[in-house]
Amino acid sequence: MHLVKMPAEVKEVLAKQKPIPIATATKDGTPNVVFINFMKILDDETLLLSDNFFLKTAANLSENPRISLLCYDAESTKSYQIKGSAKVHKAGPVFEEMRKWVHGVNPKLPAKAAVVVKVEAVYDAIWGPSAGKLIV
């Protein structure tokens, strides 16, 4: 796994996106895309997601840790696709940090697991000649 640092403009667009579409796949490649509301940038290489209602997403991550997120800013018309590997935490310090964060927003949410995403690639996802181009 080769980690990359997200550029500042990517983090800015990602931080604005609500909800965020995330894509996972089964081991045999059947895709799944869902919207999530709880995503936090931990550092230039790491994202934290909260599993509140994952069903197929949780099953997919248990057999295939690959994940992709998409963000778009209508104001700047910038869009990025972020690809990485996810590790699911159901106990421990990262899990407790996620529960505190989620329950601080809404104590009724289940906050079942913390999903830590290590960023491995960032692509330009806006239409035009640079669409799909690897940024980092």
pLDDT of 12-58, one tens digit each? 999 999 999 999 999 999 999 999 999 999 999 999 999 999 999 99
Residues 11, 119 contacting (CB under 8 angstroms): no
The one-character DSSP state at 37 is S
Tens digits of residue pLDDT in 93-121: 999 999 999 999 999 999 999 999 999 99
Tokens 């081991």, located at residue: 27
The one-character DSSP state at 7 is P
Measured between its terminal Cα atoms, the distance across the chain in Å is: 14
Residues 112, 51 contacting (CB under 8 angstroms): yes
Give the per-residue pLDDT at 3. 85
Give the per-residue pLDDT at 1. 67
Strand blocks (E) in 8-77? 20-25, 31-36, 39-43, 46-51, 66-73
The domains of the chain, with CATH numbers, are 8-124 (2.30.110.10)
Residues 99, 115 contacting (CB under 8 angstroms): no
Tell me what the mean pLDDT of segment 61-90 comes to. 96
